[in-house]
Amino acid sequence: MNHRPGRYRWRTAFAWLAILFLVASLPIGIALADAPPRRGFWLDLSAGLGLLGLGLLVVQALTSGRQNWVAPDFGADNLLHFHRRLGLLASLLILAHPIVMFTADPSYLRVLDPRDGWMAAAVLWTLVGSLFAILVSSFWRKALGLSYELWRLLHGGLALLIMALAVGHALAADHSLHAVPQRIALIVWMGLAIALIVNTRLYRPWSNRHRPWQVESVKPERGDAWTLTLRPIGHDGLRFEPGQYAWFTLADSPFAMQQHPFSLAGTARSAHLSFTAAVVGDFTAALAKVKPGARAWVEGPMGSFIPDPDRSIPLFMVAGGIGITPMMSMLRTFHAQGSRRKVDLVYANNELGDVTFLEELEILEQELNLRVIHVLREPPAGWPGESGLVDENLLDRCLPPPGQPTQYMVCGPEPLMDTVEAALRDRGVDWRRVYSERFEVI
């Protein structure tokens, strides 16, 4: 949360990677502590893969669930991306564990036969089925037509089931984890992971239950978007920095599975919160039907897409479409502070009619030290401004001279961000000064 732009600490990043290594390898360490009997290379390799799989499940619990003490060092979007990739790897390692074992000694195949002990067979088949289910539902959620809410419920349930069954299986298999202290250590270790999941899914919403919000207004915006303004009920609201985001639940209960991330678009340090969402899916389409007075819950703030607190550093912003919302929070906050900070904003849209906040930006341009460069893909006849896509030529015309201590902030659709990030890099911009926010995270 207190992440300072341009002051990224490599040491923090590497410390986290070392922690990841320790977290993932601890079950192997626990097994080694008692010098388990050797059973030959392939069977031991198989056991090692299983133990590593257990450790990676703990890493998965740590990298998901928006743990606030992990996310600020990496960015929640990076972390979720990592969680997905690691999830695939962990599943492959876990599945390699029985495959190596059955190949090394086919007699182990009997553990899958319910006639040879129905309980063990049921646990193993459920474990394999759950692993496939969690992979398929996560990587092909949209193709399967699963709603985000249903998927989230399923994902949490399957994750808990896999953890519990995996620990049970490791303890029952008994080869590498024989002594009582080791068994306790493994249970505690996996218990921590389960506690993290319970913390995200139950404890955090529960502790939020005395902090309800009420929808005050629902307003249509240009560009097929809606702005919702919320006010706190019986509490002092949320303190956030401009550019941060929060998770919103529009439901009577804080435990509702529906929870969506939106940039906080309003002035920081105002009692009210607002967010603006473009209609892209079921949830955003339903925002238009939300009635003032409806109950809402807010978890956050999150994110480190924040302007440098040093106001003498100019900002160069590039926004595409609804990616304007964090920039709006910054501009509105500067306006409230009477700040004269220099800001250039390149704002890309399809048509003039799509330009969310067009009129407000015109006013802000008069009242702040702000220059807005609209870029329209399909400009109206006689349009005097920039047209086409944001490309290197356009950036060359707008970018400040190299060497100037500017902070760059980029938010928009993936292709725009890729172009801008590459162009800035090619122009020798110090990458620690480039802040970008990707909102297509789930």
Find the shortest distance in angstroms from Cβ 369 to other proteins: 25
421 binds other proteins (CB under 8 A): yes
**Residue nearer to other proteins on the CB measure, 20 or 394:** 20
Find the shortest distance in angstroms from Cβ 412 to other proteins: 12
Q: Which long-range contacts link 428-433 to residues 24+ away (Cβ below 8 Å)?
A: 428/402, 429/402, 430/6, 432/6, 432/7, 432/8, 433/5, 433/6, 433/405, 433/406, 433/407, 433/408
User: Is there a contact between 284 and 189 (Cβ–Cβ < 8 Å)?
Assistant: no
132 binds other proteins (CB under 8 A): no
51 binds other proteins (CB under 8 A): yes
Give 277's strand partners.
226
User: Is there a contact between 226 and 276 (Cβ–Cβ < 8 Å)?
Assistant: yes
**Residue nearer to other proteins on the CB measure, 229 or 436:** 436
Residue from 305, 347, 357, 408 binding other proteins (CB under 8 A):
305
Residue from 8, 108, 151, 247 binding other proteins (CB under 8 A):
8
Query: What gap in Å lies between CA 159 and CA 163, rounded to an integer?
Result: 6
432 binds other proteins (CB under 8 A): yes
Token pair for residue 52?
Answer: 């590593």
CA distances (Å), 89 to each of 24, 49, 75, in order? Answer: 12, 11, 21
42 binds other proteins (CB under 8 A): yes
- Options 41-49, 217-225, 347-355, 387-395: segment touching other proteins (CB under 8 A): 41-49
Find the shortest distance in angstroms from Cβ 58 to other proteins: 12
Length of the chain: 442
320 binds other proteins (CB under 8 A): no
Name the residue among 315, 304, 322 with its Cα closest to residue 416. 322
User: Is there a contact between 410 and 418 (Cβ–Cβ < 8 Å)?
Assistant: no
Find the shortest distance in angstroms from Cβ 143 to other proteins: 26
Find the shortest distance in angstroms from Cβ 417 to other proteins: 8
- Options 49-57, 147-155, 332-340, 398-406: segment touching other proteins (CB under 8 A): 49-57
28 binds other proteins (CB under 8 A): yes
**Residue nearer to other proteins on the CB measure, 3 or 374:** 3
285 binds other proteins (CB under 8 A): no
Size of the site for other proteins (CB under 8 A): 43
Find the shortest distance in angstroms from Cβ 255 to other proteins: 26
User: Is there a contact between 327 and 357 (Cβ–Cβ < 8 Å)?
Assistant: no
44 binds other proteins (CB under 8 A): yes
**Residue nearer to other proteins on the CB measure, 329 or 436:** 436
Q: Is the dihedral of CA 187, 193, 194, 195 positive or negative?
A: positive
Residue from 24, 94, 343, 364 binding other proteins (CB under 8 A):
24
Find the shortest distance in angstroms from Cβ 274 to other proteins: 20
Phi first, then psi: give them for residue 431, nearest 5 degrees: -65, -20
Q: How many CB atoms lie within 10 A of CB 235?
A: 11
25 binds other proteins (CB under 8 A): yes
**Residue nearer to other proteins on the CB measure, 41 or 69:** 41
**Amino acid of residue 83:** H
**Residue nearer to other proteins on the CB measure, 57 or 368:** 57
Query: What gap in Å lies between CA 116 and CA 320, rounded to an integer?
Result: 61
**Residue nearer to other proteins on the CB measure, 229 or 329:** 329
Query: What gap in Å lies between CA 323 and CA 35, rounded to an integer?
Result: 55
Find the shortest distance in angstroms from Cβ 303 to other proteins: 4
- Binding to other proteins (CB under 8 A) within 70-89 occurs at 74-78, 82, 86, 89
Q: How many CA atoms lie within 13 A of 51 on its CB side?
A: 24
**Residue nearer to other proteins on the CB measure, 42 or 140:** 42
- Contact letters for other proteins, residues 86-125 (x by CB under 8 A): x--x------------------------------------
Residues at the contact surface with other proteins, assessed by CB under 8 A? 8, 13-14, 17, 20-21, 24-25, 28, 31-32, 38, 41-42, 44-45, 47-49, 51-52, 55-56, 74-78, 82, 86, 89, 303-305, 421, 425, 431-432, 434-438
